[in-house]
Structure 1
Amino acid sequence: MTTASNPDRAAHRQSLRERNGGQILVQQLRIHGVKRVFLVPGESYLPCIDALYDHQDAIQPVVCRQESGAGYMAEAYGKLTGEPGICFVTRGPGATNASIAVHTAYQDSTPMILFVGQVGNDFIEREAFQEIDYRRMFGEMAKWVAQIDRTDRIPEFVARAFAVATSGRPGPVVLALPEDTLWGKATVPDLPRYQRAHAAPTPAAMASLETLLAQAQRPFLLVGGSGWTPQSMRQIEGFAERFALPVGAAWRRLECFDNHHPNFASHVGWGMGDALRARIRDADLLIAVGTRMGEATTEGYTLVESPLPRQRLVHVYPDANELGRVFQSALPIAADVVSFAQAVDTLRPAAEPAWGGQTRAARGDYLAQQEPAPAPGPLNVNAVACHVRDHVPPDACITVGAGNYALFAHAYHRFQGVGTSLTPTVGSMGYGLPAAISAKLEYPDRTVVCYAGDGCFQMNLQELGVAMQYRLGIVVLVFNNGMWGTIRAHQEREFPGRTIALTFDNPDFSELVRAYRGHGEVVGSDAEFGPAFARALEFANTQRLPALLELRYDPDGVGPGITLSQIRAAALARQAQAAS
């Protein structure tokens, strides 16, 4: 710092007023661009709640019903915007409830900051009321966990939290807020808004990529991860077009590439088609951009083998620590998707790619799977997913939680960019409804449809109260088959005919939503769904309240083109063959 700037800084300090910790923290959130916080109020961070009163023109507090719902909403906000989703919860039970969202943000590489109330420093290490050591509790599921023990250091910690949450591989940060820090007062300057650091590919790396493309005969482009923008998506689409590359989206990252694009070949991971699986397995060059290629995408690290893939692998990822961690690649490139997309935007093939026919064949395979598969019973939920696809606007946001019912949306819906899909790659249940609420808050003019299993929905159905309170016209499709369908499928596969502990009685979901001033209907046949869905959309759009359709269907139809009867029969046949 120059000597000339020292007097300026001193004068700035003299002009500051004394503030308590809550006032300092919330002012920092405003400076960093926060426009919405999700919270379940708690006395442990009361000064922060009070400080929000003075920032109502810029920051909207969203009062949630349970901390897991609040955390999921914040995580969904991070997915939608690329900025950290902000969640406040109280100490102890509040933090443990919110931990599922932190784990989701970690495995989904979503920027998020969780602020947790904490006992005062004078009570630390006495097992005071609701006391937990958050460094130990969250250490394995967050990028950084810290406790702010001094009021005057709040701006420093908050600025670092934003930088850590968004840099390299994005993820969650947890900051504990002791009561004496929040109630304490300090005269401290605010820090400026954080600046995101971008990792960019080197010229040498791009030259090597061009060489590998020139040598390839069966290349495949796999996209996924977080940090995508509309511009980076268009640039990657242009790259795929110029090089005639077939493109797959990593597990539950279908929004990362326009599914309507002629180069799109479907999602990659559990439930993919045999033709696509063979295409990736036999590829001589696999360019993976933004995705870690986890267990689900690689089908247990068999499609892309660890540690040494059979394909020549170009792995593009923003965090160098992830490169070489699971897969030894032919060309590791430490770059985020924005910087990599800018770099490939300048690449041009030296000659017409020879594999264009393979790409067209891959697209043909994908389109052939877009007709609804048959299913038992009067209501075909394959056809339901196709109807939704064909009757919502292109920018509609589809949210799902976890369960076999999610396969219907991922098999048939055609997503086309950031904000059109919200789903947890970690496979955490109860996510769909809070995510839909977050999406509707962020995009009030968009259609938002939540796919929810009957079990998944009941994990966070209380957040219907948020949709009611904030007048959010979302549509919820509850897939009611009266059982934990995914586990039932696994049980039939491993222990056929020995069903136990997987079924349950459900409430009338259509009546339940009416208690939240919403619209509800029960649908039991194909003929009923179309008109009911139209009524649900109309109600949600005009009344700005939730609409719910309870889909009662044959539980034998457990997935797209899959029945429990088939799974059981195949398992029994294997057992008989092994016994013979």
Structure 2
Amino acid sequence: MSGADAVVHILHRVGIRSVFGLASGKLSPLFKALSTRDDMRFIGVRHEASAAFMASGIAAATGQMALCLGETGPGGLNLLSALGGAWANHLPVLAITSSNPSAIMHPHRGAFSSTDNESLFRHLTKWNARVTVGERLPELIHCALREALSGRPGPVHLDIPAEILGGIFRFSRAELDAPMTSFIGRPPAPHAQDIAVVVDLLRQARRPLIVAGGGVARSGSDACAAMVRLLDRVGCPGIATQMGLGVIPQDHPQCLGQGGFVGGSAVVEAMQQADLVLAFGCRFSSFLWVDGPPRWDDRPDRKLVQIDIDPAALGHALPLTLGLTSDAGLAIEALVQALSGVELYPAPDWLPGLTAKRDAYRASIDLKDIDGLIHPGALAQGVARFIGPDDLVTLDGGHTSFWSNEFTPALVPSTRFHEPGMSHLGFGLPAALAMAGHYPDRRVFCLTGDGAFGFNLQELDTARRYGLKVITIIHNNASWGVIRAAQNKHGFEIGTDLDGTDYAAIARAFGCHGERLERLEDLDVVMARALAADTSVVIDARVGWSPHPMFPTFGASTAHRL
């Protein structure tokens, strides 16, 4: 069969059903093979970066892999920009690029749209390769999938030249039909002696803190339920990272906040004062750097236990008391069982003091209108009334995601999605559209800023063409708000004005439903029409600028410090 037919056959066999890309020339054999499959859905985007955002959205929401495609030259370059988000957030995505025929490549002879894709993608993927022998396609696809899904997940890339996609080769039927279980092993479980050490550390701790990261969410719903049982059993405060939103429900009485320090001042105090931190599936990104970049001598009295499926992640950011190479869910279950009948002695004022600080922080935020414009926190809080616990929500844009993180709470795992690792603006709408295609019976929202929305608003055309409904609420402060505030602090302003764009009119021009919202009291009526619409919706809400209370911590987190 052709190389392209082999690729599609293998991907179908291992369960990949979603494909995102843009119709193009050198990939034509692959598109022909896809066209014969009624049970593999292709969504054609208007920019290849959206294809990578969409595949990343599927990975974040489901843990499953999707395929994104990029043509030779500019198509691959566009794809790469958004694939960086999957790399930074450890999301399993398969990217396939084409390239010009090998006879005019390596070294390059001057053909148009020629790029060395293997070299370009190497530093933003967990693994990549260029296919030079057609008969090795099954082997290399299996290798890519194994690398993407084993250990700490991540994006992988195959560059397949035009003559390999279109060429005819002989393949082994057994290799073509190999199930995923034949080349991907079971996740690692913790050693019993390590769990015993953790139990002993918990018995000694007076100010324990549990951190739930994206690794817990990836372990599945049973792991997330076990995390809540562990939190209840230990009786200590807990926080969730940006990739772990909802693992600890935001309304749980022991949850101090979500999204790292974005969750509020109680999160900062807990990170500073805890004498034992148990971190599950957490990479200790800068959203947990409450005192700036981590230092080896910060807290010699604090004990830190890190549980991660990737041994290379252990101790990467901070020195450890104990590191466990284990699937987060398996470790949580083992620890819950090991704690049966064990007496723990957290300080009686530890949890109550922090929850009181959490409640005072939330009560202190003033959500009044700003110079006649809606407060962004008030908009997030108002919109949350229409979003159910199981609805899916992407949070896009610095200003918007901070306010929505607090006031549009995550009560269920894998329902609220930020892009913290690369913080690539523009991921929100494409990722939400992919989720809407994958879950046609669930409501999907995109909460975004006007700046972020401008990156990929052309995908409203994709929404119309494929009948995908996403309700997008734009926090429109007519500026690059965070950047403008920083510039004004230093006495200048350049390039931050975004005033004068009517995003509701743009939505209607693409065949979607669009409305402007200028008063919060009109939100009920506007949202009722949005929920009843049979197309994607854009609500252009005019908000004022109000710096989030945790912006100073955000700024200090990556400031230079020796």
Aligned twin of 1:410: 405
Distance 1:561 1:210 in 2: 34
Query: Residues 85 and 112 of structure 1 are in contact (CA less than 8 Å); yes or no, is this contact kept in structure 2?
Result: yes
In structure 2, the CA distance between the partners of 1:151 and 1:323, relative to structure 1 (3 Å rule), is same
Q: Distance in 1 between matches of 2:298 and 2:272?
A: 13
Is the CA contact (8 Å cut-off) linking 1:115 and 1:177 kept in structure 2?
Answer: yes
Shift of 1:186: 1.3
Determine the structure 2 residue equivalent to 1:54: 36
Asked if residue 90 in structure 1 is aligned to residue 71 in structure 2, the reply is yes
Give the secondary structure class of the aligned counterpart of 2:286.
coil
Q: Does 1:472 align with 2:468?
A: yes
Counterpart of 1:359 in structure 2 is: 351
Aligned counterpart in structure 2 of residue 374 of structure 1, from 352, 357, 367: 367
Corresponding letter in the other structure for 1:162: L
TM-superposed deviation, 1:300: 6.4
Aligned equivalent of 1:424, options 411, 419, 422: 419
1:297–1:498 CA distance, 2 compared to 1 (3 A): same
Of structures 1 and 2, the one with the larger relative CO (CA 8 A, separation 6+) is 2
Equivalent-residue separation in structure 2 for 1:309 and 1:256 (angstroms): 27
What is residue 108 of structure 1 aligned with on the other side? 89
Consecutive unaligned residues of structure 2, counting only runs of 5 or more, are 556-562
Counterparts of 1:285 and 1:447, CA distance in 2: 39
Aligned equivalents of 2:522 and 2:361: distance in 1?
24
Q: Which residue, out of 136, 143, 147, partners 2:130?
A: 147
What whole-Å deviation, never above 9, does each CA across 1:169-205 have from its counterpart, x for those lacking one? 1111011010111111112121412234312211121
CA RMSD of superposed structures (Å): 2.1
1:516 and 2:506 matched: no
Cα separation, 2, equivalents of 1:306 and 1:516? 53
Say if 2:26 and 2:72, in contact at 8 Å, map to a contact too: yes
1:298 maps to 2:289: yes
Counterpart of 1:329? 320
Aligned 8 A contact 1:450 1:476 in 2:
yes
Residue type matched to 1:422 in 2?
F
Distance (whole Å) between structure 2 residues aligned to residue 230 and residue 39 of structure 1: 30
* Cα distance in 2 between the residues matched to 1:356 and 1:466: 55
Deviations, residues 278-317 of structure 1 (Å, cap 9, x unaligned):
1210100011111110122214645x54476542110111
Deviation at 1:100, TM superposition (A): 2.1
What does residue 161 of structure 1 align with? 144
Deviation at 1:267, TM superposition (A): 2.1
Residue aligning to 2:558: none
Moved over 6 A (4+): none
Give the percent of matched residue pairs that are identical in Structure 1 and Structure 2: 26
The answer to whether the Cα contact below 8 Å between 1:317 and 1:337 also exists between their aligned partners in 2 is yes
1:99 equivalenced with 2:90 (yes/no): no
Residue aligning to 1:9: none
Q: Is the 8 A contact 1:307 1:328 kept in 2?
A: no
TM-score by length of 2: 0.91
Residue 272 of structure 1 deviates from its aligned partner by 4.1
Letter matched to residue 460 of structure 2:
L
Query: CA deviation digits over 1:299-345, x for unaligned, max 9?
Result: 4645x544765421101111111212222100011112232233223
In the TM superposition, what is the alpha-carbon distance from 1:346 to its structure 2 partner?
A: 1.3
SS at 2:288 equivalent: coil
2:205 corresponding residue in structure 1: 216
1:248 counterpart letter in structure 2? I
C-alpha distance in 2 between matches for 1:20 and 1:535: 49
After TM superposition, give the deviation of residue 392 of structure 1 in Å: 1.8
- Residues 437 and 138 of structure 1: is their aligned pair in 2 closer, same or farther, counting only changes over 3 Å? same
Match of 2:338, SS state, is coil
Q: 1:439 to 1:370 in 2, by over 3 A?
A: farther
Of 435, 445, 452, the match for 2:448:
452
Counterpart position of 1:485: 481
| Residue 548 of structure 1: aligned partner | 538
The answer to whether the aligner puts 1:317 opposite 2:300 as a matched pair is: no
Distance 1:205 1:352 in 2: 18
Corresponding residue number in structure 2 for 1:33:
15
Give the Å deviation of 1:87: 0.5
Corresponding residue of 1:498: 492
CA distance in 1 between counterparts of 2:431 and 2:359 reads: 29
Q: Closer, same or farther in 2 for the Cα pair 1:148/1:418, shift >3 Å?
A: farther
Question: CA separation in 2, counterparts of 1:369 and 1:412?
Answer: 13
Q: CA deviation at 1:504?
A: 2.5
What is the one-letter code of the residue matched to 1:334?
T
- Once the two structures are overlaid, the 10-residue window that deviates more, 212-221 or 365-374, is 365-374
The equivalent residue for 1:571 is none
Partner of 1:258: 249
For residues 384-437 of structure 1, give each alpha carbon's deviation from its aligned partner in whole angstroms, at most 9, with x where no partner exists. 111222222111111022321211110212213333112211211001101110
Q: Deviations over 1:197-216 (max 9, x none)?
A: 31221112111111110110
Cross-structure match for 2:560: none
Deviations 1:414-462 (A, max 9, x none): 2133331122112110011011101111222222111111111010001
Indicate the larger mover: 465-474 or 448-457. Answer: 465-474
Aligned 8 A contact 1:246 1:263 in 2: yes
Q: Does residue 58 of structure 2 align to residue 77 of structure 1?
A: yes
Displacement of 1:69 in angstroms is 0.7
CA contact (8 A) 2:27 2:71 kept: yes
Pair 1:281-2:272 in alignment? yes
Shift of 1:382: 1.2
Q: Distance in 1 between matches of 2:121 and 2:291?
A: 26
Q: Distance in 2 between matches of 1:337 and 1:275?
A: 25
The answer to whether the 8 Å contact 1:239/1:347 transfers is no
Contact 1:28/1:191 (8 A) holds in 2: yes
For these two proteins, the number of residue pairs brought into alignment is: 537
Conserved? CA contact 1:115–1:174, under 8 Å = yes
Mapped to 2, the partners of 1:233 and 1:40 lie a distance apart of 36
Ranges in structure 1 where 5+ consecutive residues have no aligned partner: 1-18, 568-580
- Residue 385 of structure 1 pairs with residue 380 of structure 2: yes
Task: Give, in whole Å, the separation in 1 of the partners of 2:325 and 2:62.
Answer: 22
Partner amino acid for 2:14?
H
Q: TM-score, normalised by structure 1?
A: 0.88
Distance change (3 Å), C-alpha of 1:471 and 1:484 = same
Residues 490 and 252 of structure 1: is their aligned pair in 2 closer, same or farther, counting only changes over 3 Å? farther
Secondary structure of residue in 2 paired with 1:458? helix
Are 2:475 and 2:542, in contact at CA under 8 Å, matched by a contact in 1?
yes
Which stretch has the larger CA shift, 172-181 or 341-350?
Answer: 341-350
In the alignment, the residues of structure 1 paired with residue 548 and residue 9 of structure 2 have an alpha-carbon distance, to the nearest angstrom, of 49
